[in-house]
Every structure is written in C-alpha cells, then in structure tokens.
Amino acid sequence: MTNIGIIGAGTMGIGIAQIASQNEHNVFLLDNNEAQLKQSKSNLEKVLTRLLEKSKITESEKTAVLERICFTTDINSLSKCDIVIEAIVENLEIKHEVFRALEKVVSTNCILASNTSSLSIASIGSVLDHAERIIGIHFFNPAPIMPLVEIIPAVQTDDKVLTKAKDLIKSWNKTVVECKDTPGFIVNRVARPFYGESLRIYEEDIADFATIDWAMTEIGGFKMGPFTLMDYIGNDVNYAVTESVFKAFYYDSRFKPSFTQKRYSEAGYLGRKSGRGYYDYNDTSKNGRAKEDEILGEYIVNRIRCMLINEAIDAVFMGVASIEDIDLAMTKGVNYPKGLLKWADEIGLEEVLNQLQVLFDYYGEDRYRPNPLLRKMVHDKISFY
C-alpha cells in the first residue's frame, strides 16, 4: 500500500499520519477545518523537532516526513488511496456521512477503516455499497508511541481485507491483536473494572482516592492509579466510554457507570485539562494523603484485580479474542504489569474464584458473579498457560 488516507486532523489523526509518513507512505490528511489542519501541521513540526533534538531522526528525515503528508480539505484528494483510516468524532451519523461520501471517491479496492474505540464496525460499514472492505483499526493515544493496535473485522469484512490490514499495521512495527466486533473491543471492555470497582470502593467509603491509587501502584504494581489515570484521560471522556459500553451491553450490571464520576463530570472536574478532577492540580495541598495500610491495600488490589481477571476470562469465554491477544492487549495497550490471564494462573484460578465468590455472596449482584469458564477450569484443574 503506497497511499494512505487519514480523515480527521485531531490528535489521533495526525499521530497516525506521522506513523504512516515515517514508514515512507504518501499520506493524505483530510479535515474540513482549515484551522485544525494548520494547527496539526504545526504540532507535528514541534514533535519532529523534539525527535531531531533527541537525535532520533535527522534533519532530512524530518523534512521528508512533512513533505510526504498532504494536508487537505478536499475529499477528492483521497481518490488514489489504498486505505483510508477515519479518526473523527465518535458519532455514528457523522461517520455514516463521511463513509458515504468517501465511497464515491475511492476505488473499489480501497480498504475503508475506522479508528473508533467504542462503535460497532458492522454498523459503520452498513451504509457502504461494498461493506466487505470495512474494518476497525484502533490505535491508542499517543499513536506514534503506544505499541498496540486492535484490528476488528466486522461480520461483513472480507478475509483478504483483514490480512492486508494486519500486514500493513505490523509493517509499522505495531503489536497487532485481532478481536471480535463487540462493545469496547478488548481493552476498553476488559479495563472497565479498573475504574468501576475503584469508584465503587470509594463510594462504599472503604478508601479515598489517594489510598486506592497508592494500593494499585505500590502493592498492585500498576504504573498509574485509577483516579490519577481517569484525571489524565479526562473524566468526561472516561465517563462517556463507560456509558457507551454499558448501553451497548444491554445495561449489564458489570459495566454500570458510577454516580461519583457522573457528578464530577457534571461539575466540570474533568481532570488535568480542567485543573481539577479527583485531585486538585491548582492547589495540591488540598489533596489528601494515602492511608498506607498494608491490609487495606491488599484488599483493594485483590478486589479490583479479581474483577479485571473475571472480565478477561469472560472475553475468552465469549470468543472476543485469543488468550495471548487479550494478555498482549492489556500489557501493551494500557501497560498493566502482567497479562491478566497469566496473572490469574500465578495467583491460582481457585483463589481468584474464591475471591469473586466472597464478593458475590456478600453483595448478591451479578457484577461479581464468577465467569462460567473460570468455574469450569477450576473444576477441571486446568490453567490458561
């Protein structure tokens, strides 16, 4: 594939364009907002300058990367593209408009991809006359740095399109995982308890934000605590994804959103970008100190971790992805200290089952129900690896 089209010149779009250009493709970056295109070009120049200063690229390479990208507002510029990756707002109606217009411009052999993180690929492709060319290619932010890319074939996707898409992304030195076209794909599905159960622990007044973050980083080994991470992502963004996944799973209680997060979003406490979220970034003296209680910390880690493991097991049970791809996704996509299924083996599946059963017996809520596959594996005395 020589010519790569990108639709949307936001952070994700310019990131994907940078990757494609650095891999010596001709890139056509489309956005209907001229000011956004100029801003994206300026941002890319700054990124490349930093890479040059760190001796990661040469001056000639910097020039070549910029020269290979055509910044355009004309959709006809994409006519000779071999693949076009859409990276615009998460709105199905707007995506439908874009893909209808795009299909009139590109050749019948052009692959049409979406970088959506939460919408159905089948639904996005439903407006196409040749829906067999649709596929999901989900990068993680920042795209040039994060190694993981989820590849999601829709029910309409031709096998040859899947192969070509995987080969292209692998040629960009990305870690590719393939998953079913289900809500949240792998990462945004399996990771929900990292946020949801942390919020639940806080709402039950078991521990405050700082203590939960301390437990998950110092005892659990996670690079970032859940509240620090939600502040980094943006409370509004994280809450929107939670609501989307909850609705998409027909209101399954495992994905139930938190009133705490809703209220913080409503108050404009969005995290770092607004100066205040679960923590105050304008006056850090207002942030409480963690209660470094080892017993409490172990309880917090075990509770959140067993919920994450249960969700990873459910993804295997429902055929969302392979055991290896699920573990790859969680280590490469969100930097978990270990693959959750490998971690489950190390802890012992029987112990994981016991932890979940205690929660389920206490609360009587389906969100804590141990997965049938976990029960079966414990009964059969088998492990994931």
Show the tokens assigned to 156.
């309409």
Name the residue among 219, 265, 204, 271 with its Cα closest to residue 240. 265
Active site residue 138: yes
Active site residue 198: no
* Rg value, the chain, Cα: 22
Name the residue among 306, 116, 317 with its Cα closest to residue 193. 306
| Residue 114 pLDDT | 98
| Residue 30 pLDDT | 98
The tens digit of pLDDT for each residue in 140-174 reads 989 999 999 999 999 999 999 999 999 999 999 99
Measured between alpha carbons, how far is residue 142 from residues 226, 353, 375 in Å? Answer: 19, 36, 38
Active site residue 67: no
Name the residue among 258, 347, 362 with its Cα closest to residue 302. 347
| Residue 173 pLDDT | 97
What torsion, rounded to 10 degrees, do the Cα atoms 1, 26, 77, 121 define? Answer: 50
Measured between alpha carbons, how far is residue 28 from residues 44, 295, 345 in Å? Answer: 14, 55, 46
Structural domains present in the chain: 3-178 (3.40.50.720), 189-380 (1.10.1040.50)
Q: Return d(Cα 313, Cα 332) in angstroms, integer.
A: 18
Active site residue 188: yes
Catalytic residue among 118, 188, 258, 265: 188
Residues in CB range of 381: below 8 A, 6 or more apart:
none
Name the residue among 175, 170, 200 with its Cα closest to residue 186. 175
Catalytic residue among 114, 138, 238, 265: 138
The tens digit of pLDDT for each residue in 68-91 reads 999 999 999 999 999 999 999 989
| Residue 244 pLDDT | 87
Q: In what order do the strands lie in the sheet with 134-139?
A: 69-72, 26-30, 3-7, 83-86, 111-114, 134-139, 148-153, 175-178
Q: Return d(Cα 294, Cα 281) in angstroms, integer.
A: 27
| Residue 303 pLDDT | 98
The whole-model pTM stands at: 0.93
Catalytic residue among 103, 150, 197, 311: 150
CA atoms within 13 A on the CB side of 42: 6
Residue 316 CB coordination number (10 Å): 19
Those residues of the chain that have pLDDT short of 50 are: none
Catalytic residue among 115, 117, 118, 120: 117
Q: Residue type for 23, please? A: N
Q: Residue type for 97, please? A: E
